Amino acid sequence: MKTKIIVITGIDGTGKTTQSEYLKNFLNKECDKTATKSHQFASGPIMKQIMLKHGELLKKLERGTSSNNENSNRKRPLSDLLTLMAALRILSTGVSHTWTRIIKNKKSEFIVFDRYFYDVLIKLSWMYDIDVSRIKVFEKLVPKPDLILVLDSPGEIALERETDDDLTLEQMTNKRETYKEYFNNELETTDKYYKLDTSNQNISEVKSNIRKIVQKELIV
pLDDT tens profile 171-219:
888 889 999 989 876 555 556 889 999 988 999 999 999 999 999 999 8
Whether the full predicted model's pTM is greater than 0.85, yes or no, is no
Region at 32 (left for phi over 0; alpha for psi -120 to 50; beta for the rest)? left
pLDDT tens profile 129-160:
888 888 888 999 999 999 999 999 988 888 88
Query: CATH number of the domain that 32 lies in?
Result: 3.40.50.300
Specify the number of domains making up the chain: 1
Are 14 and 151 within 8 A, CB to CB?
Answer: yes
- The DSSP call for residue 185 is S
- Give the structural domain span for 138: 4-217
